[in-house]
Each structure stands twice: as structure tokens, then as C-alpha cells.
Copies of this chain bind each other. A is one copy, B any other.
């Protein structure tokens, strides 16, 4: 951020009075511009013993596999966001189920929220952000070409728990591995 979105004049990065963190503050109209973490919402679409994955048509991680998920929009609930993303990326109709996992990713200022969901039919096809959309049994999951650690971790846990017949909610944090 270089300019004030309210008046168009330059902003300064400084700690406002009574605050503890540096913020972009407008030197002309005095507005403080806060920046906060974004929420990514998605789901694990289930069909019998299979789950649906999407192959990414966009960066980052073009060509790799992921669950349908994306940035939550204003004016929707978490579950509505997950349903919308599943429709946009896979043209798949789902009935949202239990909340499955929430991961904080402090190094990229995101919180990832995953639901389990019931795929309602097999009329799915790639949305514009996907190259391919497919159902996978556990033995077919492309573990080495999954797009993100925040997909790998809950998926791995999902199949482990499913084998034990005990699917439950998990709250976690994924730290930057490159630090």
C-alpha cells in the first residue's frame, strides 16, 4: 500500500497512537488502513469411498491437485463460501457437512477452513480455474503432486481417521517451513 484509498494521497507506515503495530496511515486524511488475515474456505467432496480433487489451471501451483477451495467473499457464511468455491472450480453440487479442519497460516496471513461435503451427483466438470476434476480412491490420491501443505495435512489425516472409523474436527497451525 502506497496511497490512501480514501483520498489518493501518500500513506506512511507507522504505529498509530494507542496501537501496538505499524499500520498504513494517511498523512492527509488521517485514515488508518488495517490489514487482516484472509479466510480460505473449501471442502472434501465425498462420493462413496472416493473424494473429488481439482487440478489447478492457475498459479500458484499450476497443474497440481487440490481440494475445491478459495477466498471467502463478503456477504456469505463459511459454508456458503465453501459451496460456491466447489461450484466455481468443479461445477459440483454438494451438501455441506461437518466442519472438518481449520488451519492458521500465520506466515501468509490466512486461515483455511475445510468442511466435509456430500457430492450430490456426478455431473461435475472443470471450472475455469481447473484443468481437470476427478474422483479418487485413497490408493489413487496423487500425494506427490498435491498443491499445498494445507491440503496434504488434512487429507492425510482424513484417510487415517476414516480407516479408524473416527472422523473428527481438527484445529491446527502450519508454520513457514522455509524459515
Contact = CB atoms under 8 A, between A and B. Distances in A.
A99 B2 CA distance: 37
A145 interface: no
B3 A4 contact: yes
Nearest to A76: B106
Interface in A4-57: 4-11, 18, 20-21, 24, 33-39
A21 B73 contact: yes
A155 interface: no
A178 to B, nearest CB: 15
Contact of A109 (B10, B20, B74, B173): B74
Contacts of A80: 104, 106
A44 to B, nearest CB: 16
Contacts of A77: 104, 106, 173
Nearest to A99: B171
19 contacts: A2-B7, A3-B8, A4-B5, A5-B24, A35-B74, A36-B38, A36-B39, A36-B73, A37-B39, A37-B73, A37-B74, A39-B111, A75-B106, A76-B106, A77-B173, A78-B111, A78-B171, A79-B173, A169-B169
A-B pairs with lowest CB-CB distance, top 4 = A3-B8, A77-B104, A74-B109, A1-B5
Interface of A: 1-11, 18, 20-21, 24, 33-39, 71-80, 88, 99, 102, 104, 106-107, 109, 111, 128, 169, 171, 173
Given A2-B7, A37-B73, 10 more contacts: A2-B5, A3-B3, A3-B6, A3-B7, A3-B8, A5-B24, A8-B8, A75-B109, A80-B104, A80-B106
